[in-house]
Structure 1
Amino acid sequence: MDCANQTWIQNFVLVGFTPTPFLQPFAFLGVLFIYLLTLAGNMFIIVLVQADSGLATPMYFFISILSFLELWYISTTVPTLLCTVLHGPSPVSPTVCFTQLYVFHSLGMTECYLLGVMALDRYFAICRPLHYHSLMGGQVRVWLATASWVAGFSAALVPTCLTASLSFCQVEIAHYFCDLAPLMHLACVDTAWHARVHGAVIGVATGCNFILILLLYGGILRAVLKLPTATSRAKAFSTCSSHMMVVTLFYGSAFAVYVGSPGGREEGSDKLIALIYALLTPFLNPIIYTLRNKEVKEAVKRVAHRFGAVLKG
């Protein structure tokens, strides 16, 4: 095939998942159900934090920012997932494909930075309790949240632009959305250099934040172990448990896909793992942050009580 004639392709084709005709409606309805529950759960957290003054703390401010991010994160990929499940391989224009690639990685890197900021918040809350509210004042919170978004959307420019500059000889993407590895499999040229650059950029964004989180939790562990009673230690750990679960889920699945060469894995092997961090993680985050959280449960009761009083009045 003449690669020079294939540089400007009209459409890519997302292969996605091809369930049997019998399973197709169940797969579609299952994904749609998870998607709608994810939207509802994350919107619930955002509204609750805004509606209840008892949740007007730095921790819940960052949780609401994370929920807002998850709304867009899951909405970047699920529509194309639903399309491929329902209709099979689906065409997508290069403009839409590379836009999806950029937005998905921007939001993913933003979440990496935001999880680091949330670890810093927990460190100050436990290790610097007397200065916590001054260290995490309103302007500081907004600045840290804004910096996370700016850093994430800036870092994603490099892998997106490098991938978009490649010449492509094939059009079938062995995935349900446009991602680095499946796109690089379609290139006419050697992508080893591109893979090293991708690995360096993504490694800095994820690896440095992960190391920061580990260091902060090392400091938290030392501070907690110095507390005088088992009850106080358990209470301190409980404020971090939800965040640690989210970090483990997000980084565990992300490292499985992006550590190493993005173009060096078996074609199509990433899409199953992608379901974890692109679909299940946004779905589980609201559950993790609310199911075992007494403060959220009390806030729900207060808001429900006020809402009931308004209806009666």
Structure 2
Amino acid sequence: MKKVNLTEVREFVFQGFANFQEHQLTLFVVFLALYILTLTGNVIIVTIIRIDHHLHTPMYFFLCVLSTSETFYSLVIIPRMLSSLVGMSQSISLEFCGVQLFFFLGFAITNCLLLAVMGYDRYVAICDPLRYNVIVNWRVCGMLTSAVCATGFSLSLVQAVAIFRLPFCNSLIEHFFCDVRPVLDLACATPMINDILTLIISLLAITAPATFLFISYVLIISTILKIASAEGRKKTFATCASHLTVVIIHYGCASIAYFKPKSENTKDQDQLISVTYTVITPLLNPVVYSLRNKEVKDALRRVLGRKSLS
């Protein structure tokens, strides 16, 4: 009888915005607008990079991959969240919850690793410019991108399988999508191995690339400070300012979300943090790279200029 009770839960019900019943229509409009801006911005960046030959460099190749990954990352979460806000569907089957968690984690880890690869690209370009074309050639770009995607989705698969092998005793998710901690909280018992696995994956996906990026930027900044002219220092730093901005915000939100002690978890705080890294952070990529990056702005003007002339 006990075994039957443990396998009764076959779907989950989202309770993410239950405390904001009177504001759900407002939240729907705001999140829909942000989602449209995110999709539009990332599509524009990918299109410009593909069209303008001036941007056919490893740096913008990685940016193109990141924008594509961010687009699918938001696609996994936001449409489902929007439908919940307007009361279309508050429930999700156990299988689809597993699929959502798998793809969410896969793209999230891939994005973290891609930012580290982009940091490596900037490190070589600034600290070893004479060998840049040899070290970061197109073959290496393809290998790094493939390795990052394979690693991201392999870690995601391990995490998803470990979670959904557990029996669940509760069907109410105190969240607006299937994230690791909210789903684990529904398990009848969480084995220590799951907590250890979550910690290891967080260290591999967040701490390791963040540490690599910190060391890279220490070396980058030390190299920039050796440049004689102030104009040269400013111009060189400008090539990585956009990336550094995205890195600080991205890893900052991820660290707060996955390394905060359980005892400090509250429903409202967790949802605010989750909204930041699922809705706001994907929008930062196109905004930062379009507003702070002179080459992208120049490419956009050239593309728009050609279309106007035609």
Residue-by-residue CA offset, 1:16-54 (whole Å, 9 max, x unaligned) = 213655532221111111101100000000000011011
Please state if 1:61 is matched with 2:56: no
Task: Confirm or deny: 8 A CA contact 2:16 2:174 kept in the other structure.
Answer: yes
CA distance in 2, matches of 1:139, 1:74: 29
The TM-score normalised by the length of structure 1 is 0.94
CA distance in 2, matches of 1:97, 1:195: 19
1:117-266 to 2 correspondence within 5 Å? 117-259=117-259, 266=265
Deviation at 1:209, TM superposition (A): 0.8
Please state if 1:25 is matched with 2:25: yes
CA distance in 1, matches of 2:264, 2:190: 15
Deviation at 1:308, TM superposition (A): 2.2
Task: Confirm or deny: 8 A CA contact 2:97 2:178 kept in the other structure.
Answer: yes
Q: Secondary structure at the match of 1:13?
A: strand
1:294-305 to 2 correspondence within 5 Å? 294-305=294-305
Q: Secondary structure at the match of 2:278?
A: helix
Deviation at 1:6, TM superposition (A): 3.0
Residue-by-residue CA offset, 1:110-162 (whole Å, 9 max, x unaligned) = 01110110000000110111111222111111111111111101111221111
Residue-by-residue CA offset, 1:234-265 (whole Å, 9 max, x unaligned) = 1111111111111111111111111156x665
1:271-282 to 2 correspondence within 5 Å? 271-282=271-282
Alignment match, 2:15: 15
Q: Secondary structure at the match of 1:209?
A: helix
Alignment match, 1:36: 36
Residue-by-residue CA offset, 1:53-110 (whole Å, 9 max, x unaligned) = 1111111111111100010011111012112221187110011101000100011110
Q: Which letter maps to 1:273?
A: I
Deviation at 1:177, TM superposition (A): 0.3
Task: Confirm or deny: 8 A CA contact 2:41 2:286 kept in the other structure.
Answer: yes
Task: Confirm or deny: 8 A CA contact 2:184 2:190 kept in the other structure.
Answer: no
The TM-score normalised by the length of structure 2 is 0.94
Give runs of ≥4 in structure 1 deviating > 4 Å.
Answer: 1-4, 19-22
CA distance in 1, matches of 2:24, 2:300: 37
Which shifted more, 246-255 or 15-24?
15-24
Aligned pair count reads 309
Deviation at 1:3, TM superposition (A): 6.4
1:301-312 to 2 correspondence within 5 Å? 301-310=301-310
Task: Confirm or deny: 8 A CA contact 1:16 1:89 kept in the other structure.
Answer: no
CA distance in 2, matches of 1:251, 1:273: 12
Q: Which letter maps to 1:177?
A: F
Task: Confirm or deny: 8 A CA contact 1:16 1:88 kept in the other structure.
Answer: no
Please state if 1:86 is matched with 2:86: yes
CA distance in 1, matches of 2:20, 2:272: 17
Task: Confirm or deny: 8 A CA contact 1:3 1:167 kept in the other structure.
Answer: no
Please state if 1:283 is matched with 2:295: no
Q: Which letter maps to 2:155?
A: A
Once the two structures are aligned, what percentage of the paired residues are identical? 36
